[in-house]
Amino acid sequence: MRKLGIAAGLGVLILSTGFLLASSTNFLSAADCGNVPAPGLDWSKCSKTNIMLQSSDLHGANLAGAHFDSTDLSDANLISANLEKATLVRAWLKNAKADGANFKKIEAYRSDFSNASLNGASFANAELQRAEFDSAQLANADFQKAELGRADFNKAVLSDVNFSFANLSRATLSGAVIKGQISLSGAFMYLTRIEGLDLSNAAGLQQAQLNLACGDNSTKLPSWLKAPAVWPCPPDDPDDKD
C-alpha cells in the first residue's frame, strides 16, 4: 500500500509539473504580443489593429495570422517578414521595405502599398480588392490567384511579375512600367485598364482575355493577338470608387 501511495504521489507531481510547464509556455507565447517591434520577433496571431507602427523594424519577423487592420506601417522594415494569413484591411504600408516578404493569403482590402519596395514578395491567393500599389517596386512579385479587383498599379514597376489566374477585374494597370516579362496566364481581365500599356512580352495572354479588357490605340500587344474592333471600356463611375 505504501508503494502504491508513493507511485500515486509521483504521478500527481509529474502531472502538476507538466501543467505548470504548459502554462508557462502559454504565458510566454501570449507575452510575445506585448513585445516592442524588433527584428525577428514573433507576433503570430497577435492583435495589432488601429495602432501606429511607422518606421518599425520588423525585418524577418513572424507576423503570420496577425491582425493589422487600420494600422499604420508606413516606412516599416518588413524585409523577409512572414505575414501569411495576416489581416491588413485598410492598413497603410506606404514606403515600406518588404522585399522577399510573405503576404500569401492575406486579407488586405483597401490597403495602401504605395511606393513600397516589394521585390520578390509573394501575394499568392491574397485578398487585395481596391488595394493601392501606386509607384511600388514589384520585381519578381507573385500575385498568382490573388483577388485584385479594382486594385491600382499606376506607376508601379512590374518586372517578371506573376499574375497567373489572378482576378484583375476593373484593376488599373495603365500607367504601370513593365520591365521584362509578366505572366497573365488564366487571369480574369474583365474591364482591366490597360490603356497605353506595353504587353508585347506578356506571357500567357489570350485573345479572349484581351476582348474583355480596356485598352486603346497605344496599347502594345503580342504579335499573335489583335485589338478588338471596339474596346468594351465605359468610363468608371467616380462614385463607385468610394
pTM of the entire predicted model? 0.84
pLDDT digits (tens, 9 = 90+) for 164-216: 999 999 999 999 999 989 999 999 999 999 999 999 999 999 999 999 999 99
Q: pLDDT tens-digit profile of 11-39?
A: 444 444 443 344 333 333 433 899 999 99
Distance of alpha carbon 208 from alpha carbon 184, whole angstroms: 12
Selection from 186, 177, 181 nearest residue 206 by Cα? 186
Structure confidence at residue 235 (pLDDT)? 64
Cα separation values, 60 from 17, 31, 98, 184, Å: 34, 19, 10, 30
39-74 pLDDT, tens per residue?
Answer: 999 999 999 999 999 999 999 999 999 999 999 999
What is the spatial distance between Cα 120 and Cα 167, in angstroms, rounded to a whole number? 20
- Helices (H) and strands (E) in the chain — how many of each? 2, 3
Hey, CA dihedral for 24, 29, 30, 35, is it positive or negative? positive
User: Across the chain, which distance is largest between two alpha carbons, in Å?
Assistant: 96
Q: Give the Cα separation of 61 and 83 in Å (integer).
A: 8
